[in-house]
Structure 1
Amino acid sequence: MSEDEPAENISGGETGGGRFDQFQPGDGTSRAETVVDRLGDLYWQKTYGVRESQSDSRANQNAERSGDGQDAFECLVRTILSQNTSDKASQPAHDELIGRYGGGDLAESLATADRDELAETISAAGLYNQKSETITRIARRVEEEYGGATEFDAFVREEDYDAVREALLDMKGVGPKTADCVLLFAGGRGGVFPVDTHVHRIYRRMGIAPADADHEQVRQVLESQVPAEKCGFGHTASIQFGREYCSARNPACLDDPEACPMADLCEQVGVSPETGEVVDPAEAE
């Protein structure tokens, strides 16, 4: 495991919506699953068990779910804090926020929080003015529309998957990746594979998803090819792989194709070791 790798990802782990289980490699029926299995050899060698949901046919069909998990509103706040920053930066911000505003209904506390005080509390996460505004606005909406964090948590766990995802995406400041992290780690929707910039780049560069696929299309490809119980781990480990090996501008294969542990699985779409050129896969000839 890399020295820079956090002990747990902000979206997963015991405090982030699940428990750790030993990672079980599969039979490699798809290239995407083979990639995720190899990530299991590189990193934690664990999967994230996710919170049990009472009514999700997608997860019931495919996923083995377990653990009490984190409530949905706190998971939503954690994921907002993690936007455009590292876990190393966002984790202290989360801890400070819970230390100051936790202990009761978190949505109620944050809905009435002083904006400047909240921004100072989460300053370690970066973009703290923008994030404090987003968190306060969403907290007020959760209070007004659901009655508080407990009721919002029940909505995320028990209502129809499409209805929950639509409601999350209707909140200003919540994009598909954030919504999917809440669905996966707090809602018990085990077959959800959140797609951030790293995941979007990696699986198009490998040729697993079409080069011009948008985030939603990449998500659909991965969710159809990766077993439900591996999606949480696949998401977090792919992010680590993107940071360590498959960066946007200087992927490991650029200087030495064999330096990347995925070399035999990757089509290097948009990467040309011969010329040193690296472009977005959608721009590759």
Structure 2
Amino acid sequence: MNDEPAENISGGDPETSSFATFTSGEAATRAEEVIDRLGELYWQKTYGGQDAFECLVRTVLSQNTSDKASQPAHDALLEKYGTQDHVGLASALADASHDELADTIRSAGLYNQKAEVLRGVAERVLDEYGSAAEFDEFVREGEPSEVREALLDFSGVGPKTADCVLLFAGGQTGVFPVDTHVHRIYRRLGIAPPDADHEAVRAVLEQEVPAEKCGFGHTASIQFGREYCSARKPACLDGPEACPLYDICERVGVIPETGEVVDPAETARD
């Protein structure tokens, strides 16, 4: 099993995280078998315990960019606004100058758009919940479907962002956020339809992966996408021994004979 990265994917505090539970015996679905294989390959941990508002901020910053780009922006944002005059982060962001905030998070890309989203989210959290602490209580204790609906009503917050908050801050089991890695991998595996959108992939995974394995499955799938199942050069192009999931993957959109790799959705149009 690989060592846990020093900087974990979710940004969660390792001390507030928990190890996933993997039961012995045969997997009930192919999706569960994939997650169990990843459990043999990677650290079996579900990250959690994050403050809901900070988790929301972090996930907005990570939209359409890499951790390498978003992490410096997150650190710079906390340094500038996290303890500003002892005002809470939500209040500081709600009152922040757009230009100043955008410049602070420039490394995350789309900084003008993200600055607008962060200011708007901060204002709504304060207006509707009173404080970041009360928002955090709502995320942790509210009915998950209601929390997700409320998060999706925030301008600039999509399904992946909402699900990350539910998982990493709300501590909800059975939530499998779908980012670009997850979307690609499970269509390429043939577990989700090749033309499935992010929400359709999420529905398949949350139905076929046991709730207690979803959190680990999300982070492990991202790591697998980075190490093995990349968008342009998946490991399977180098043969069966190169990928630990080769024998249970349909390799939709991957043609080893020619080295051609296309989005699985392209195969659905043939």
Pair 1:128-2:105 in alignment = no
CA distance in 1, matches of 2:18, 2:155: 32
Indicate the larger mover: 81-90 or 20-29: 20-29
Answer whether contact 1:11 1:185 (CA < 8 A) is retained.
no
CA distance in 1, matches of 2:188, 2:76: 38
Counterpart in the other structure of 1:227: 210
Alpha-carbon displacement from aligned partner over 1:29-77 (angstroms, at most 9, x marks no partner) = 322122122222333x221154xxxxxxxxxxxxxxxxxx122111100
Partner of 2:14, secondary structure, is: coil
Partner of 2:64, secondary structure, is: coil
Counterpart in the other structure of 2:46: 48
In the TM superposition, residue 120 of structure 1 has moved relative to its aligned partner by 2.4
Counterpart in the other structure of 1:38: 37
Indicate the larger mover: 252-261 or 75-84: 252-261
CA distance in 2, matches of 1:48, 1:2: 15
Change (3 A) 1:91 1:20: farther
Partner of 1:9, secondary structure, is: coil
Change (3 A) 1:224 1:146: same
Q: Which runs of 5+ in 2 are unaligned?
A: none
Partner of 2:148, secondary structure, is: helix
In the TM superposition, residue 116 of structure 1 has moved relative to its aligned partner by 2.1
State the identity %.
67
Aligned residues: 264
CA distance in 2, matches of 1:3, 1:93: 26
Q: Which runs of 5+ in 1 are unaligned?
A: 51-68
Pair 1:84-2:83 in alignment = no
Counterpart in the other structure of 1:217: 200
Change (3 A) 1:129 1:41: same
Counterpart in the other structure of 1:152: 135
Q: Partner letter of residue 78 of structure 1?
A: R
Answer whether contact 2:21 2:212 (CA < 8 A) is retained.
no
Partner of 1:230, secondary structure, is: helix
In the TM superposition, residue 202 of structure 1 has moved relative to its aligned partner by 0.5
Q: Partner letter of residue 46 of structure 2?
A: Y
Answer whether contact 2:254 2:261 (CA < 8 A) is retained.
yes
Partner of 2:147, secondary structure, is: helix
Change (3 A) 1:209 1:127: same
Larger helix fraction of residues: 2
Counterpart in the other structure of 1:256: 239
Counterpart in the other structure of 1:269: 252
CA distance in 2, matches of 1:23, 1:7: 22
Counterpart in the other structure of 1:191: 174
Pair 1:205-2:188 in alignment = yes
Scaled by the length of structure 1, what TM-score is found? Answer: 0.84
Counterpart in the other structure of 1:96: 76
Q: Partner letter of residue 108 of structure 1?
A: S
Answer whether contact 1:26 1:37 (CA < 8 A) is retained.
no
CA distance in 1, matches of 2:182, 2:32: 14
Indicate the larger mover: 1-10 or 192-201: 1-10
Change (3 A) 1:133 1:49: closer
Aligned-residue CA RMSD in angstroms? 2.3
CA distance in 2, matches of 1:170, 1:76: 13
Alpha-carbon displacement from aligned partner over 1:140-185 (angstroms, at most 9, x marks no partner) = 1111122121121122122222221111111111110000000111
